[in-house]
Homo-oligomer: A and B are copies of this chain.
Amino acid sequence: MQDYIGDLKKITRDYQLLSESAAVLAWDQETYLPPKAVQERGEQLAQLQSLAHSSLTSPRVGELLAACGCGDDTPGGTAGEDPADVAYLRQVYRAYTRQIRIPSSLIESLARSTSAAQAAWAEARKRDDFSLFQPHLKEVLSLVVEKAQAVGYGDHPYDALIDEFEPWMTTAEVSRVFKNLEPSLKNLASRIAERPQVDDAFLHQSFSIEQQREFARRVVQDLGFDLSRGRIDETAHPFTATLGAHDVRITGRFREDYFGTGLFGLIHETGHALYEQGFDRKILGNILATGTSLGIHESQSRTWENVVGRSRAFWEHYLPLAREYFPSQLNKTGLEQFYRGINKVSPTNIRIDADEVTYGLHIILRFRLELAMVSGELKVEDLPGAWREASRELLGIEPETSAEGELQDIHWSMGAIGYFPTYALGNLYGAQFWSAFKRKAGDVDTIIREGDFTSLRNWHRESIHCHGASKTAGELCMEVSGEVLKAEYLQEYLENKFRSIYTF
């Protein structure tokens, strides 16, 4: 048994190294690649990804997994006693089976058609013309459904899709939680809409990018981002990338005319990065050294960005420092005004501009439409109308253009159907974990107000980060909070926070 696992570990180490090298090339592509090298970089990356894929799907891996007793009912094997081995085998079995079940002809068709669909989507969005994207979405959708069939699922083909991004999650569970969440978000948003709006004009002044950069670097290092094992760069679309066990890189984007984009974006990425920098030494460099699901990953970024970074206590600590960086812009802005301004709630058609309260409704809208399209209940040509109708019902507004509606997100053009729910799951897991942390740590506001984030970071590291993918999202949720995922924690957090801000 140990021999089989040892052999397997050599192969998955090769896979890991190849994946890391691919991550270096991909990071460089987003940050520093000369414009004319884009096409050859695609070839270099495709070669590394193909080598990584081949190493993980070699027949030898199948033999070794079988020898360890891994199967659909026993993904962690049958003979293992060491929980670390069971977790390792489960992760390898999962990755292996997902990859070998999808025929290479389908992988190629998906690559070809999503590549064309992305170009068509960009053009359609630019011209605000859904008809340009429609045939591509139809083709991508049909291939994605074919992929779901190939991978296999329990109740619904969408199960196989969401499972790609949120392992072991099911459509039924997402539906159950979203069903609870939806009315409370709508209700809270409508109560807020009746109150006088807060004033956030102070955020829309001219803020030197150089000063923003310095301030943000200082804040994220305070939060615990380790620059000896990472970097901060700037890109059009911020992201976090892991290039090795000791190499986690985040990127930000600063806007001179709006203070919110740069700092909160970098705090968000820092949340992702703390997770990636927090894996236990025992799993570093191993296939388990990865976020266990996108929802759990997003719980970390959202917690640091919103629950911590947009809290009153956080700005009790940082507003004086922010005023040193931006005296003329912020000296006249009081703490309360600042706090309310950065938490302004106002429905928008654009998901990525949404506030904490309405954000979940954007996700519920997409989940509903994805499910209907995958089931065949909604035809692609009817998507624009269905989008407007759902938007009116959920957000109380509807987009006047396709570009601000069903064409706003890149995800579907990439074949990433089943991805959106993970954003809302992030908020839900985050609130549930935060509640557990508060039970443990007591007066969390005082901790944050003092600007020492050690205990906060350590709790998240010890409870969540250290495990990597050794525990599933569901196992983590149960272990950390003592319950399955529930909508109530997020509801309670939002209710308390926004009743205070909008005074009702």
Q: Chain A interface (Cβ within 8 Å of chain B)?
A: 14, 17-18, 20-21, 24-25, 28, 32-37, 40-41, 43-44, 47-48, 51, 227-231, 233, 243-247, 249, 285
Contacts and interface: CB of A to CB of B under 8 A. Distances in A.
A249 B24 CA distance: 16
A40 B228 contact: no
Contacts of A34: 227-231, 246-247, 249
Contact of A47 (B14, B35, B47): B14
30 contacts: A14-B47, A17-B47, A21-B21, A21-B25, A21-B48, A24-B25, A24-B28, A28-B28, A32-B231, A32-B233, A33-B247, A34-B227, A34-B228, A34-B230, A34-B247, A34-B249, A35-B228, A36-B228, A36-B229, A36-B246, A36-B247, A37-B243, A37-B244, A37-B245, A37-B246, A40-B245, A40-B246, A41-B244, A41-B247, A51-B51
Contacts of A17: 43-44, 47
7 closest Cβ contacts across the A-B interface?
A37-B247, A36-B246, A40-B244, A37-B246, A36-B229, A17-B47, A36-B228
Main secondary structure of the interface of A (DSSP, over half): helix
A20 B48 CA distance: 11
Residue among A24, A33, A245, A285 with the highest chain B CB neighbour number at 10 A: A24
A80 B33 CA distance: 38
A35 B36 CA distance: 30
A285 B40 contact: yes
A204 B244 CA distance: 42
A128 to B, nearest CB: 31
Contacts of A35: 228
A34 B25 CA distance: 16
A18 B50 CA distance: 12
B44 A244 contact: yes
